[in-house]
Amino acid sequence: MSSVTKTDKAPLSGPLQAQREEFRGVNEDLNSLGGGIVGILQSHQILTSQVRELTDTVKELQGRVTDLTGQLKEVEETCQEKESLNEALGSELSTTQEAYTRAQSEVRNALDEVSASKRAAEAKIRTEQLASSGTIRALQEEVKELREKTSAVQEEKETMKVLLQEASDSAYKAYEDGKRAAEGTLFGGRGEDATPLALLKKELGLADVPLQGENRRRQGDRSPLEVSQEIARVAQETLKAQKETIEALQQDLTALRKEGSDEIQKFRGIIQDLTKRVAGGSR
């Protein structure tokens, strides 16, 4: 006697397991990229602090320039006053002119220092901006790859739906054939290989497996009722096994959908967070 045994819950297929491992790898890559972005942002903050310090220095130097300019004006006024004095004040005028010359030199030196500091700060900012632009492009490529992998998971889900539908259709067909055979609608005297039992065995892939009571029928001892009962029994067992298989596949598909949805939401959150950080860093 041959019967269809209950099938265990099928494990995830190789492609699905590989897809899961690939998702994990992508997640680790994104975490590593997140660390790199944090480093860039920290460097950007340090650079911003340095720029602030340079700005404060520039302001301080500008204040000195203003003071020196005021002093220059005072010196000029003094010179004008001294020019109207007599020759006895010549030595004092000479001293004032020397002070004026020193003040001019200090002003020029201060302006040169401000210009050099400004050029250095601008060059450093341009270098950091170029580095940030390269990181943004790399992140955009990672986002593109992640979207392609998400699309592949969706295609795998659609394939599972098709397989479930095919299994359901096959189980329903076997059930209907067994039911009609049990009701006696398939008996037509078409020979041993064309009987309902033989046709059903062929449909189920059991053509070479003898069923309970089949040998007696070949010897003329088996009744049509026994044949119908045997067909109904095989059909019921087959339908039961296929229903269990379908339920197991549906459970796997549900778990896969939930896992895929959770992973996609997680990746979207990571991408959004990285995008915000990079956007803030580029500014």
CA angle 16, 21, 26 (to 5 degrees): 120
What is residue 90's predicted lDDT score, i.e. its pLDDT?
62
In a domain, 3, yes or no: no
**32-73: per-residue pLDDT in tens?**
777 777 888 888 788 888 888 888 888 888 888 888 888 878
Amino acid type, 35? G
In a domain, 9, yes or no: no
What is residue 216's predicted lDDT score, i.e. its pLDDT?
43
In a domain, 6, yes or no: no
Whole-angstrom Cα distance, residue 73 to residue 178?
115
- Most confident by average pLDDT, 103-107, 183-187, 260-264: 103-107
Whole-angstrom Cα distance, residue 66 to residue 189?
119
In a domain, 4, yes or no: no
Q: Which residue has the higher pLDDT, 65 or 238?
A: 65
Q: Mapping DSSP to helix (H, G, I), strand (E, B) and coil, where does residue 34 land?
A: helix
Whole-angstrom Cα distance, residue 89 to residue 267?
84
Q: DSSP state, 85?
A: S
In a domain, 119, yes or no: yes
Residue whose tokens read 């990672």:
142
What is residue 218's predicted lDDT score, i.e. its pLDDT?
46
Instruction: Decide if pLDDT at 24 tops 50.
Output: yes
DSSP 187-237: -----GGGSHHHHHHHHHT-TTSPPTTHHHHHTT---HHHHHHHHHHHHHH
Whether 40 contacts 280, CB under 8 Å? no
Whole-angstrom Cα distance, residue 143 to residue 280?
18
- Report the number of distinct structural domains present in the chain: 1
| Percent above pLDDT 70 for the chain | 47
CA distance readout (Å), 113 to 57, 106, 108, 120:
10, 10, 9, 11
What is residue 122's predicted lDDT score, i.e. its pLDDT?
75
Whole-angstrom Cα distance, residue 174 to residue 182?
12
Q: Which residue has the higher pLDDT, 218 or 210?
A: 210
CA distance readout (Å), 230 to 56, 215, 222, 226:
97, 13, 11, 6
Whole-angstrom Cα distance, residue 130 to residue 122?
12
**143-179: per-residue pLDDT in tens?**
677 677 667 767 766 776 676 667 666 666 766 666 6
Whole-angstrom Cα distance, residue 158 to residue 228?
39
Whole-angstrom Cα distance, residue 281 to residue 129?
9
In a domain, 60, yes or no: yes
**117-131: per-residue pLDDT in tens?**
778 777 776 766 666
Smallest CA-to-CA distance from 66 within 97, 107, 32 is with 107
Give pTM, 2 decimals.
0.25
**267-276: per-residue pLDDT in tens?**
667 767 766 7
CA angle 206, 209, 210 (to 5 degrees): 125
Rg of the chain over all Cα atoms, to the nearest angstrom: 45
What is residue 220's predicted lDDT score, i.e. its pLDDT?
46
Amino acid type, 19? Q
Domain hosting residue 210, numbered range: 14-282
In a domain, 203, yes or no: yes
